[in-house]
Structure 1
């Protein structure tokens, strides 16, 4: 019984909360100031916005590059730390938070962003 408790405790401490509770991707609602559709590229992948885009989490800001001359050429989407990471740091200590950091699941981005465009 003691071995089972020890193994379960080790598993909890070594797994990161954000790594267990969040996905590899995050969904972002990207809009335009005019409401008109434009084509953008993020990480080399093209999307038509306004719309919801699923992006892979990483330890880097994302740059939204507009293909439309009426819109800002680049809009930066800044990385943010997932709430689950802080919970894990407080409750699980450095082992779990290190897992979150290594898997890059500790990062997320704003839920929505607007690209500035002219009519």
Structure 2
């Protein structure tokens, strides 16, 4: 009987916490490359990077635009938000409060792991 109470208490507590909030970072790590392998300076959300390389993006639920500063490359490449897979685990486990927490903290969002900027 005591084990059942402990199991129920653990289940209740886990339903209150957000899976994505606990299991994912505040930023999404995106590997950005160019179609030619050429090094290019880019800007995303006001931050400057040189790619190919890793770009860290705030998980804020907003689509992002990569702006390339090389005339031989596409001037902008869009990245749309996606739902973090751990968010679905929370929904499937009936974690209504946890999914609300994930949504409120914006940790339910992520971006593609790899993005390629088209260059000539």
Task: Tell me the TM-score normalized by structure 1.
Answer: 0.89
> Are 1:95 and 2:102 matched, yes or no?
no
Structure-2 residue corresponding to 1:84:
86
Give me the CA root mean square deviation: 1.8
Structure-2 residue corresponding to 1:17:
19
* Whole-angstrom distance in 2 between the partners of 1:21 and 1:103: 13
CA shift, 1:13, in A, is 1.6
Segments of 5+ residues of structure 1 without an aligned counterpart are none
Alignment partner of 2:109 out of 100, 107, 116: 107
Q: Which moved more, 1:48-57 or 1:1-10?
A: 1-10
CA shift, 1:78, in A, is 1.1
Deviations 1:30-50 (A, max 9, x none): 000111100000000000000
Structure-1 residue corresponding to 2:42:
40
Whether contact under 8 Å (2:20, 2:86) holds in the other structure is yes
Segments of 5+ residues of structure 2 without an aligned counterpart are none
Alignment partner of 2:70 out of 68, 71, 78: 68
* Whole-angstrom distance in 1 between the partners of 2:111 and 2:13: 28
* Whole-angstrom distance in 1 between the partners of 2:8 and 2:119: 57
Alignment partner of 1:49 out of 30, 33, 51: 51
* Whole-angstrom distance in 1 between the partners of 2:56 and 2:47: 11
Q: How many residues align?
A: 118
Whether contact under 8 Å (2:26, 2:59) holds in the other structure is yes
